[in-house]
Every structure is written in C-alpha cells, then in structure tokens.
A and B are shown apart, each in its own frame.
Chain A
C-alpha cells in the first residue's frame, strides 16, 4: 500500500453543535483522534441557546453542559474553534485538510475566562447569542458555560473611518468608546498616544474624522473633536481643583524610556517641531527646541485667536510637552543668532527644521505699500499678545481663507462698537476656502463678506490708506482647476478703509538654509516618506514642507520626522515598514450588531454673538460630562474593537495580543463529518409579520433566550418593547417553513413542538399567562410528542387555533399586537384579537456555512441549501469518506441529530477500522494520593447556577456559614461550578489547600457528579472522596417563594454532606476483559444494518431472527415516498449479511436466556438447536407491526383495505373512480395515544401513485393532521397540486362509513367548509397504526431488564441525548422497537447503535467496581434474599457458601442492601454509617454527632 492510500485513524468534524459534539465523542471513544472545527468562538451550537427541550422539558443547558465539558476535556478531541475549513484534498481514508484559525486576539492557553477584560471593554454590541436582546462587549464569550472558556475580541478587518482618516493617526474610535463609558482620563491617554495637543486640537482641528464618520450616513457624525476637547478640559479642571490626575500604576500609558545620548536640535517650536521633540523625548533622546519667538507654540500661539483657543489651555499643554524633558531656547533665530556650525559644536547629531510658514504672501497691487496696509500674521500676533493696534473704524480684509476670517473676527473684537469689517475675496461664497462654520460665526458677529471681488487698487492719501477699489471676479480657477482668476473690469466696487489687512496666503522664508538643503516650489525638498532633506541626516517637517496646512497635519509630520530621526540615530533603515503616506480609504462599514442610540448630535454650547464679539473669551464653552457620554454613545463602533487596549491593561494573565494573526494548520484525517447545522430563519424576510418593526414581535429563539435563566432578562418573561410581563402571548407557526414564497417548501419539523414547549414553560413562569398557538397542522409525530401536545392542550390550557394569521397590526396606544385570523374550527369567523407579545415560530434554514463547506469538499447541496441530495441515505454526502450528521442534511430535532451523529461515527469506524487506535493518546492521571492517615480536610464549593440557585438562596451567607464548620478548610461560591474555569479552580484548590474531601453544592449528581469526580482524579484524589449537595432541584427550585427558609435548608443539606464526607473512603476499580461480539435480536433491515456495520468494524455478530427469513416488516413495502426501491435495498442487505464472515445468522430462533454484563454476556439462542454464545453487547431490533383495523367496514367489504393492501393492488392496473383514504385509524386515540408517524406520507405516496396511473381518479384524504415533516412536505404540496383532495375533520368526529347496495358512502364533517360532506367511494383505504410487538417486547424487556413505555415501545435511557442506549449498560435499541418511523430513519438508528456499541467493544478492557454493593461474609446468613431481590442477577452464593455480588453486574441500585435482613450488604458510599452521618448532620452540628455515632 502506498503512503497515499494509507488510512488515517483520525476524523475531522465540521461544526460543533450537538451533532458535532456527539459525533466527536463517539469517534473519539471508538479509538479515533478527532479534530472539531467550529466557526464560533466556542462549541455548543444552537442547542446551547435553548432554555428547555421537548417533550420532557429538561433544561437544555443542564444537558449540554456536561457534554461541552466532556468534549472540552476529552484527550482525543482537539477543539479548533473560531476556525474555518479552508482546503480539502485527498480521498476517503486519507484527506489532507487546511484549517484557518482566525485570530481571536486572546491566547487560549493563557486566558482563564475570568472576565476582567470584558468589564474593562468600553465597546458594547448587540449580543447575537441572546437574540440581540442584551449587549455584550467587543471582547466576549458566547455564554458563561462556553467551551473553550476563553474570550475573543470581535474586530472588523477594516479600520474605523475616523481613526484611519486622522492624519496624526489618533485613535478617535478608541477615545470615543472610552468616553461613552465615562472613562475620561483613560480616553485622554488614548488621545495623547498620537496627539500631544489634545486640548488644542480638540478646539481647532478641522476634524476630517467627522467628515467620514459612518454615523453621518444615519443622521449626523459623532462630534469627535469636541469629545477630545472635553477629556482634555476634564483633566485640566481636575488640576485646577487641586485633584490628583495621577493614573493608578497599572493604568498608566505604557512608555518605554531609554537613555539615548544623541542630541537632537529642532528648529521651530510649532506643532510639527514640538511633536517631533515630544516623541523623541519620550523615547529618551536629549532634545532642544529653538524658536525665534518669545513663546513656544508657533501658529498655535501666534496665529490662532484666543476666542477659539484660550491661552490657559494652550500654555498648560505646551508646558506638559516641555515637561517630558525637552530643552527650550526661545528668542533665538536660526541663521541669525546661531547656525549649523554652532549646533555641531554643541554636539547635536541631527537637526529637524520645523520653521513653519509664518510670512504673509505679498500681492502685486497698486498702492500696496501705503501706510495702513498690514500683514495678517503680525496683526494676529499682536492681538493675541493682548495689544490693540489702532486700525480705525473701517477695515477691509483681503482673502477668503481661515486666516482672513480669524483676522476679521479678531479685528472686530478690538474695534469700537459700530466699526465696519469687510472681507473681500476672489472666490464665490461656495468656493471660499475658509471652513463654513467659521464664516457663519463671523457673519453672526457682524463681519461682512463680499465674495467674488478682487482688489484692483489701494486708494490712499498722505495719511495713508483710505479705501480699496475692487473689480468683479468672474472665475477663480481655469478649466484645469489651476488658480487663474478672470475679472470683469467693468464692474467696480470701492470700499472705504482705515486699514487693509492682507490675508491671501502664507509662506516660508528659507534664507537661513545652506545651499545644499534644497527647496522646491516654495517648500523644503524632502523625501515624503522619511522627511529627510537633500542633506543626509537633516530632516524637515510641518508647514515648511507641506505649505500652510493644519495643526493635525503638522503633528503627523512631527511623528514622521521623529520616527526617521530615531531610525537615523539608531542606524536603522529609514524606509523599512514605514506607515504609508496615503491613508487607507477602505473603511469599515457600519457593523451589523451595533445599534445606534437615537440621540441627535450634541451642539457645542457657544457664547452668543453679541457677547463674544466684544472680547477674546473662548466662545465655545465645552461639553458637560453628561453630554460627552451621550454624544460618545452615538458612536457605531465601526471597527467593533476600538483598540483602546483597556483589555490589555485589565488582563492579569497577559493573554491579550492585539497583533495576533490568522494561522493556517494542516491536518491529515481519514474521514470528515459535516455537522454544520442550521440557523433560524430570518423573520425580517416576512415583513408582514412586523419583525424588526413591532417591538413586541419576537422570534421563537429570542423567546427561548427570554425564558432562559441566563438570558437577557434573567429568566423573567418580559416583552422587549416596554419590559412589561406579557399576559397574553401568541405563537405563529410556519414562519419561513412550508412557504414557497421564501423558497422553503419543507417543514422544519421542530417548531410545533418547541412552540408547545414554550407555551408550557411560559405558564410555568407565570401561571395566568394566556397562550395561543396559531398553526396549520400540528406536527407531533415523534416519540412522546402527541402526549406532550395533549398535555399542553388539556392540562396547561394552551389554545391551539388552526389558522394562518392574515395580518398583524400594532395597537399604537399600548404596542400590543392585533391579530386577524379566520377561525376555521369556530364556524369560520373572522376574528381580531389583541396580544401582548407575538412569537414567530421561525423555521430552520441551512446554515450558510454548509454551502461554503460543501463546495470545499465537493459535496452537493439540495435546493434548500442543505447538504446531500438523497433522502434515503441522509448520512452520505455523495463523496466517499465524507459523512453528514444533524441538521446539515435537513431540519430535525435533537434525538434524530444525536442518532445521526452516532451513526456517522459508525460509518467512520467502518471506513477506518484498520487505522483504529493509531492516532489516539491515552489519559494518565496523577498517582492517587494516599489519604488513609489524614484527618479530613474538606473543601466546599457552592454554585450560583447563574440565578437558578442564587436568586433564591443567599449563596454568600451559605459560604460564610460553611466556612465555620469543623473540618472545612476551604469554602467558596462560583457562578457555575460546572464550568471549565471552575474545574481549574477546584483542582488548584485541592492541591494548594491539601484537600482530601470535596463537596459541591449545586444541582443533581445524576448529571454532574462524574464531571466533578474527574476533577478529583486530575487533582490526585480518589473520585469517591466527593459528595454533592443538591441545593437546586431539592431546594431553590422548590422553595422559590421562601428564600430565607431555602437558604437555611441549603445550609442543612450542605452540613449533611460535610458530615457524611468525614466517613468517605477511596474505592478502587478492577479491570475486566471484553468479548468483542454483539448479539442482535431481530433480522429486519434495522437489525441487519447494525450487524453489517459492526461486522465491518471487526466485531463478531450473532443475528437472531424468529422467522425463517430475514427482512422483517419491510417486505410489505415496495417503494418509499421518495421513490426508492426498498425491496432492492432489502435484498442487498440480506446478501451482505450472508456474505459477511463476522455475522452468524440464527433463523427461526429466539433468545432464551441472557446472563452477564456489559462486555461479558452469555446468552442462549433457542432454535432448531440451543446455542450458547458469549458477547459484549446486546441490540434490540425487534421491530413492530401494523394494526388490523376493526372499523370502517374493514373485513366486511372487499373495497375497504389498508394502505399496504392498496400498494399490492397498485402493482397492477388500479381502476377506481373515487378513492377515499381515512387517516389515523387506530392512532392518536384514547387507547393508542401516539402518532404512527409514517401514515400521512404513506397515504400521499399511494395517492400520488394512483394519480400517476389514472389522473382522473378522484382521491380524497380525510385527515386530522397531515404530518409530512421535513422534506416530505414537498410531496404533500405536490399531492395538492395534482388535485388530491385533503379534507380535514375534527378529532372527535371521525367519518361515518356506510354501505348501500355494495357501494361505499362516506360522510365527513369538513372543518374548512364547516359542513358535512358525503363522498362516494369505490375504494376506501385505511391508514392503520404501527403497533408494538407487545408480548415479545415484554418478554425481551424482562430478559434484558430494560423498560417499556406506556405505548408498549422500548424506552431509551434519555429521550434527547441517549436515544439508542438503554439505562442498562451494554444494551441498545433501534428501529420500530423504539418507535414508529421510516425506513431511512430506522437505518440511521441502526447505524447509531453500531456507533455506540463500537465505543465499548473497540476497547480491550473495562473498569468495574466503584459504586456497588458488597457483602460482609461475616454477617451473611446465606438466606438468598439478595438473590431474589436483585433484578440484575448480580448476587450469587460463592464457594465459601456466602453471598457475593458480581461487581460488573451490580448497578448500585441498593435493593439488596435494604432487603438484607442481617444488614450484611452495604452499598459503597451509601453505607449505613455514612447515611446516618448524613442525616444526623443535617439535623445537628458534626461534633455533637460524632459522639452520638460513637
């Protein structure tokens, strides 16, 4: 065999809902290594979102949680969550797959699930897991019990527009998010990471971030600039008040300061120079800033008027920067006061020029030199220094830019009242380069703007300027958009002026530069990426490189220059990995699960124009804290994670890495199981039901979350609209199912039952809730479903209305919903009824990932997007070695899913049998600690169980009490003691505190004991040194109304367990061998299928059939509804059984006796001879049969027949004018309450066959419900299209069949028409019930000690999660013996049994013992009582003549213990003395008790 053909003993499972988990466990337990791939951050799928499950109303989380933990800690299951399948190559037995592990930004190994990061995260999103009825943070886990219990950061791949657009790279999203949570100082720290001038920039920035803000698409952008200002002001005010702004040590911005020696000279103390200096000072360089002015700040100080930027803030901020360790030399001009040589001498190693563009451009204009013509920058400098130059009463400002407006507004502030300020500019009003808001403010203050005028001449007399003559400017730019103004010289306007202020642009002066530092187009020629000048090691940045620009651009230049200087001084490459000059224009869109609060943008409070024009007091007064929080909460969190790094600071485990990347993993697997599952139908696709519009219309999954104790309302039933408790709830069925308009012609199979369940649970929460379910057909087809439906109807009072609701309208007064419908069963009345809450029972649709995966692995999908195309072989994908399980191949409920998963595992086992056991690891536990000489050291963990316990019992006070009980060395409470992180805590506590007894006070040992016992073993303790106190089922759940007493009772129960725990002893197992053979009872297709699968997995099979032929009940059925030839399938199976060496068939045989136990049975088969066989497992596949009708003239009139008889007739030419079929003959009545599941489809199959032969035949099907679930619905529709008549009759009004002169006549009350119909019939076809083989079942039940339910079918161990196991280990059930079902379902169940059996028989040995009864031979009187009592036949009289109990047979039921008259038998861990200790301790303190026991 070549390497390529070598079979690999591992399996890839895609999707980790209950299907994927069960498949993984069954594969792993049968000796295969499993890789479980899941897209979500955690496993569990949809089942984890459910509250309860039908028809037993078990808590879904309680069922799935132990499974999650089992998968999570299984040595041979590797969970690859948050991962996608990327590539698949190879063939069955040997696939090479590539998996992309998406970056979750949290190290799975380090994260302990503590949730500190979640509490620190400022970004809230709608929680999809909770139906968007609650919020979670950008760092999150799906739910508290999630496995793996680690956090994940939700990041958009693209950046937030605001952050990506900021030239300086300020993390706007980050600080806005922090502000929204009131974390102002932290927000300020985020600003300062890239923006040293938080306060200044927060006042004067032209905020390009706001232009691109996605919120602007909804209403208006977030006021990002003003928020930045707010946090700067906030800190400033704290300082003014003398409050400390020192950040706590662990919250300080991370600064790594080195001690570099290289001196840097920065020429120019404006924003570019200071930023560069600031960066370098933080890095640890000695930096000196030289500035020609008396003050630092450049244009910030001299150019920006104080009414826009108050001097206090400016000075404060400049001071803050200087304090980073920058040396400042003011009033010294480069090129005049010092030069290159001086700097060199002083040891400066590099220079950065940031000299700005402080000079006003001159224009060639007649009279420009006249007295009274001033430049704008010196004017602004003067006014900013507080001087009031005399400029007269009428001034003209030339220019339309921001500086011109600043000049005009500054001028108006220093002039006498009544003075005139005119601004003239070439541009039209729309073209003016100044910011619109500044122009508007200027206008408000009385500045007059004259657009489209160009100066032609300055008029002056001997005293100086008197006015200016202007001409009309027609256009400013030419066709190439180049500055090229054209004028109409004929149109003139003259302005009087005492002063003219020139403000037509700024420029730099480069006279100080040496020749080798070249300039170009009026700026210093630099490399745009590095800002290096034409001289190596000399840099420049800011306005002298970019031309006059804004503060934020200057800061960007400063950063860029500082980076280059650092690289230069460290000898690094100047260009490598630089941030590109062009910012990304690809921004994140508005994320789906962010929801904007409906708050309008906050307007910055401003002084009124009249007040502000008289002074330089800052005109904008700033946001209040409340405004800031509200404004920040308008942010849509476009990038989702804001990268504020709060989580990094919060995480004590240092598990967070924002830079982590996706990772590709290559695996080699032998087989693949696709278990991608379903997703709920998107209810907004049926807009008429108002989902998304009406607040109180929700989906069933949302209601499931509402019901859940860990859901958005902590288990209180509230409606989302107003939080009121709904008293009247309606369910509308078939939303997105059985609906051609949305392309889903199939039935989703589960909705009728889940709606029924929800109605019951809603009533259990609030007994006066009125529940109504609107439905088409009640599809209660599964095991136990009909009874469940009847209980809802009759015991709980759920109303069922057979009607499709025609409209839902919202009552505007109270947000109730008005439903209109036609009440068919009440005389077709049109009814309008008002409900508080409407639940849409959404169907199951194909998970989008199915298509994706199917394409990757080369598998077909059906027209609905589910995988696979052959209904008869639901597990086969069409590609060998790739199997399907669960909802991936169509909608179904949990037990069907579990069966398919075990079955898929069996198919993997068949394919990979040779490679079984080759890839697995074996778990090794630490050596058990000997505690025999130790005093008890007891640890107690008290569980909140979310609110299940904690809402009633005061858990904290329980813990406080327990701590004081002698022997207890540790007690603590945990939210979910069963969660993986709790196990870790328990294990660590056991080791650290040297515990030798453990008590968990939580739920029931039935589901959770083994989980905790495993933890004990991992901590090196014997697993029987454990006790559970059930304070949930036995306390909080039953004493909800009396919380105080419940708390006392919980204490009592725990005290009892503590008392008992003193007496616990370690118990050890012994190992027994396993017989690798199975006994299969029943030779129908089901039994044969199990046998073949087991045989192929190398297990010997004894197949026993009581008839003289194989084939069972299927010999009566020719074809399936879907058209498969079942007889061919049957004969193929028979052939395969006959050919298979591992199968021995016993025909005409029955089981006579069964002895032994799991792994080691001995049975006798009685046939022509009696054979004794040894085997390790037993499979019951005894089938069922069809009832013989006794009604409707069956047996009396030859034209009355059953469907099966019709099928025989249909083989020939079947001629009848009128055919009538009656459904539910013998099913769903008082004596046989269950639904026979298959009859509706069988009737439709035969009706279609009749129509095919003779389309003119009138076929009428009289029914109570049509239960064509899943894809069978398609045939129901087809039947209606073919003209088959479906006539509904009420449950209690079966048709009346009479015979007149040999002709059949059927009277039936049709509910739709509301009247009785009389139908003639040439043939009347009855659909009889499938009935259990009661006698046979009882006999086998007794032989195998397995139970039978009230309908006479065998009862499995657990209806949801153990659908083919019996509680009695080693015994399994499948096929019709379990319940009525279709052939393809029987086959799946048969394979599921094979999957389960191979989990046992693939092993070589079993561990036995543990919790069993033992006989004290000293006390035994050999009275045989125990032998009579034991149903498992475990006791026997041994060679010594006393009773002994066979360890492996003993189930630990305790019957013998209680029956033994001599008290010679004790059940381990339930010994008399231990139980006494328990009971007395419940009553009294342990020390008192000790005396009593002695």
Chain B
C-alpha cells in the first residue's frame, strides 16, 4: 500500500464522514461546519492530484469566503433546529432500494470500465502560473463573461437583501407615526 493510497483513503474517509454528518445533523450550523471539513479534505485530494492552485482556491474561496457567508446567514437569521417531517411511504419502500441498486450499478461500471491505470501523482503541474497562462489566453472570453456574471450577482444580492420600501419601516413614516 503506497503512501498516496493511504493519503487518498484518509482524505476520502474524512470527506465522506463530513458529507454523512451534514445529512444527519439537525442544526444548520453543525451541517455548515461538517461541510467545511469536506471542503478541506477535498483540498487535500486536489494536492494529491497535483492541482496546487485549485487546492489553494478551494480553501480560500470555498472553505473561506462561501462558508463564512453561510455561517453569517445562519447566525443572522438565528436558524434553529430543523423540524422533522415524515416522507412518503413509497419513497422509503422503493426509493432506498432503488438508490442502492443504482449506486451499486454505477460503482460496478466505474470500477470495471473506467481507467484502472493509476493517476500519477504530481505529473500534471497545476501551478498558478500555468493556470493563469491558460486562463488569460485560451479561456479569456469565458473569464470575462464570468466577471460580468459576478457583477450581476453582486447587484442582485444587494437588491434582494435590501429592505423593501413598502415594509412600512422607512425613516419618514416613523417620524409621522
């Protein structure tokens, strides 16, 4: 058993355990923390695959920025325990066996027919300079389009999260009351 396989299994177990914990926990803050664990473990997997830039961006953007946004909203809205609701009986009777069957089939196909030759570790240098070179030459148009998308998303978030003027909480009305 090589060291790479051991590291892969270690990070993989952390990732799957975090994902299952996300499903099991009833409080959203616990789910958010386990999702951070999943993302950190995935950053380790990216490092094993030689994708340094992606691993660093995963930690900074995903586990950092996006999850901070999630935790901020959970605390802002004071989200409590999730209420339990009953699922339909058909879903438990047929859904779980069907899901198990489908996932076993997919696992069998992947193990049988996809490349069984090992992925060489560090064979593909995903350093920031190579990625940046690719990003600013071959993928320049998608890059510019995503910057416009980000701008629109910022404006949309500000518009959606700002208080609507018809709420009756404006400063002018308060004075009148």
Bound pair: A and B?
no
Q: Please give the residue numbers on chain B whose beta carbons come within 8 Å of chain A beta carbons, in ascending order.
A: none
Report A's interface with B, CB cutoff 8 A.
none
